[in-house]
Amino acid sequence: MTDRTPVTVVGLGSMGSALAKAFLRAGHPTTVWNRSPEKAASLVALGARHVGEIAEAVAASPLIISCLIGFEATAETLAPACHAIGGRTLITVNSGAPAGARALAAWAAEHDAGFLGGAIKNVPAAVGNPDTLLYFGGSRALFDEHAETLRVLGGDLEHLGPEPDLAALYEAAVGATLLPALLGFFEGAAVLSARGLPASSMVRHATKWLQMIESLLPVLAEEIDTRDYTKLGSSVALFHSANDDDLALGTETGVDMAWHRPMFELLGRAMDQGYGDNSITALYELLRGDRADEHDLRGRLAAGAD
């Protein structure tokens, strides 16, 4: 017998399988379900129980961990189990828009189930590591109740607040840096390959560059939170002046720089609106759109810089 909370893992992609393995290693009775049953075979060999009907999978455990492609897919998958989910807790660790998380939380409440919307901020191979971050939005009482079980998946747990969509919101906010960073690395690799140099030759330098950016994040956040764009020192005008150099590099190396055009346009608008002497963080004012304050921000910035 075990005193570990039984869990059901719904969705056995690379991340879902990693979650199930972590629960099994920690001694939790683990039921698994996947639309393609063959994905459960390796987990069954480790001691998991596989069931083919989603309602049976949900009924098997008080804690349901769903790791599907999005909230809509989760809702569609769990719909046949609506009669079985009452009294249980549903925790999602999928991607998707905040609205999807709110809708799924409402569905869970309608069927007398608890809900936490979560996210795992690492790759499947890092599931279970002490420094792997997981964060959740929803009931604090539910978070506290299941924290010990969730810690099996990663040692760095955070409760973001009572709103069930907060993890999805932070996923969108933090994830916004991913594709631009990857594109920048791919572009760098293409530039080097034009000279016959391997991408591996820049990994050390790119790592140092990313560490420098990491060190600046608190300064950037402070400038945004205070809307005082005078501390960083790297101005909008400085970045704008490099546009032609980027295009020249593309011409010289034959690398497609088309993905830069929206950034060039954003910098140009910032210059036109008088932000040239402010730090590059002032681009936040353009990105936030119609929510700008009624007072003259640029006047306040100019007064603060004097």
Tens of pLDDT, residues 187-210: 999 999 999 999 999 999 999 999
In three-state secondary structure terms, 83 is coil
Half-sphere exposure of 20 (CA within 13 A, CB side): 29
Q: How confident is the model at residue 302 (pLDDT cuts 50, 70, 90)?
A: very low
- Whether 7-172 shares its CATH topology with 177-305 is answered no
CB–CB of 28/54 below 8 Å? no
Tens of pLDDT, residues 5-39: 999 999 999 999 999 999 999 999 999 999 999 99
Tens of pLDDT, residues 162-187: 999 999 999 999 999 999 999 999 99
CB–CB of 199/193 below 8 Å? yes
* CATH number belonging to domain 7-172: 3.40.50.720
Range 135-142 average pLDDT: 97
CB–CB of 43/17 below 8 Å? yes
84-93, 173-182, 288-297: segment of lowest average pLDDT: 288-297
**Average pLDDT value for the chain:** 93
**Amino acid (one-letter) located at 268:** G
Q: List b or e across 84-120, with b for residues whose CB sees 16 or more CB atoms inside 10 angstroms.
A: bbeebbbbbbbebbbebbbbbbebbeebebbbbbbbb
pLDDT at 122 over 60: yes
Domain ranges (residues) in the chain: 7-172, 177-305
What is residue 229's predicted lDDT score, i.e. its pLDDT?
Answer: 96
- CA angle in degrees (0–180, nearest 5) for 44-49-55: 135
In three-state secondary structure terms, 90 is strand
Q: Right CATH number for 177-305 from 1.25.60.10, 1.10.1040.10, 3.40.50.410, 3.20.20.70?
A: 1.10.1040.10
pLDDT at 278 over 50: yes
Q: How confident is the model at residue 300 (pLDDT cuts 50, 70, 90)?
A: very low
- Residue 153's nearest CA partner among 129, 136, 176, 171 is 129
Q: How confident is the model at residue 306 (pLDDT cuts 50, 70, 90)?
A: very low
* Tokens linked to 196: 């016959």
Distance separating alpha carbons of residues 290 and 279, to the nearest angstrom: 21
pLDDT at 304 over 80: no
**Amino acid (one-letter) located at 242:** A
Distance separating alpha carbons of residues 12 and 24, to the nearest angstrom: 14
CB–CB of 125/72 below 8 Å? no
**Amino acid (one-letter) located at 44:** V
CB–CB of 24/168 below 8 Å? no
What is residue 289's predicted lDDT score, i.e. its pLDDT?
Answer: 84
Tens of pLDDT, residues 240-250: 999 999 999 99
CB–CB of 204/192 below 8 Å? no
